[in-house]
Amino acid sequence: QVRVSLAAANHMRVSWISSSSNSPSSVQYGTSPGKYESSATGSKLNYGFLLYKSGTIHGAVLGPLENNTVYYYKCGGMGKEFSFKTPPANLPVTFAVVAGDIGQTGWTVTTLEHVQKSTYDVLLFAGDLSYADYYQPRWDSFGRLVEPSASSRPWMVTEGNHEIERIPLISSFRAYNTRWRMPYEESGSDSNLYYSFDVAGAHVLMLGSYADFGQRSPQYKWLQADLARIDRKRTPWLIAVLHAPWYNSNEAHRNEGDDMMKAIESLLQAAGTDLLFAGHVHAYERWDRMFQGKKDDCGIVHITIGDGGNREGLATKFLDPKPENSLFREASFGHGQFKLVNSTHAHWSWHRNDDDQAKIADELWIQSLSSTGCSLASKKMR
């Protein structure tokens, strides 16, 4: 269950699970196969849930690392050699977007195969990972399923509703928070359920649809502070990722993102957020630039891509007629690629999984709002 994620600048976190608590939490690594000039030692922990007890969950932070470089590594000083590639320091950079609801099915396998064949630097994932719900062994099978991809490129995730473990008198994110540690502390957040990170020319917000987001909440206050620190000259692109979509013309999960949208849409709009990825609805849909329910040239492009391959199937019932600002929608499994070409332009493509062949079914060139004059001051004057 080996995987990597971004940590602090020029650092990567390697996570894995061992059956023995005596296994060392160390990673040996270097830039040539079988030659490990460096090592890092991290921490270990486990957790229990009803009658289940996890293996020993290890995590070690490697770095500082060179940008755009392949590193070879071994976990715990034994076993298979893995490799990962660090993201570039500057644009262009490509994100693979499996924005939600992937689960563990045959379609999941197809999606992961297509992702692995693509050239990408970082994977963005908007929740509903393993579909374990409260059955903990599914977390282990999921970890093994995604290892080929997750061990070679950083996976950056946020939580979905299937990460909530509900049994009588208990509701928690224990498994998710223990297994999928993200760089929340590095971004000033107090919770693994929401955080941010920089990569190349992008600042990425990983928001929590299932953490409190009201104006007095820790998430809201953290988001205010995080947006205030952004330097758009250094990171001209601003991307948000969350689970429950704000704009949705599917009959599934209608209006479930409305409360969060009312709470923080204005914050993201004022900051000039370019694009928001969501999952939850098991279909693909791309909206125009939107703000407060209407098309807005300075608004956010909303993309729902909750079609990774989950066991619940596709959400095939869309509202009829189609809203004029919903520009493309389809109930098919697939994944997306978002390439930031330079500081002003990016290319989005959605790749359909039909017949086990990845096909581009929808694509769009996007201009960054930081290059169009869509500032808070200009919005107040309109």
**Among 265, 357, 352, 334, CA closest to 99:** 334
- Residue 253 appears among annotated catalytic residues: yes
Longest distance between any two alpha carbons in the chain, whole Å: 63
> Is residue 379 a contact partner of residue 270, using CB atoms and an 8 Å limit?
yes
> Is residue 57 a contact partner of residue 17, using CB atoms and an 8 Å limit?
yes
Strand partners, 12: 6, 62
The b/e string for 295-312 (b: 16+ C-beta within 10 A; e otherwise) is ebebbbbbbbbbbbbbee
Strand partners, 367: 345
Residue linked to tokens 């299932």: 210
> Is residue 141 a contact partner of residue 132, using CB atoms and an 8 Å limit?
no
**Among 123, 85, 122, CA closest to 102:** 123
For strand 52-53 and strand 48-49, is the pairing parallel, antiparallel, or unpaired? Answer: antiparallel
Please name the residues in contact with 149: beta carbons below 8 A apart, sequence gap of 6 or more: 112, 115, 116, 123, 155
φ/ψ of 289, rounded to 5, equals -65, 125
- DSSP assignment of 33-58, as one string? TTB--EEEE-EEE--EETTEE--EEE
Please name the residues in contact with 40: beta carbons below 8 A apart, sequence gap of 6 or more: 14, 26, 27, 29, 60, 61, 62, 63
φ/ψ of 165, rounded to 5, equals -100, 110
Catalytic-role residue among 58, 253, 282, 302: 253
| Residue 121, token pair as written in the block | 């630097």
For strand 284-291 and strand 326-330, is the pairing parallel, antiparallel, or unpaired? Answer: antiparallel
Give the residue numbers annotated as catalytic, written as ranges: 253
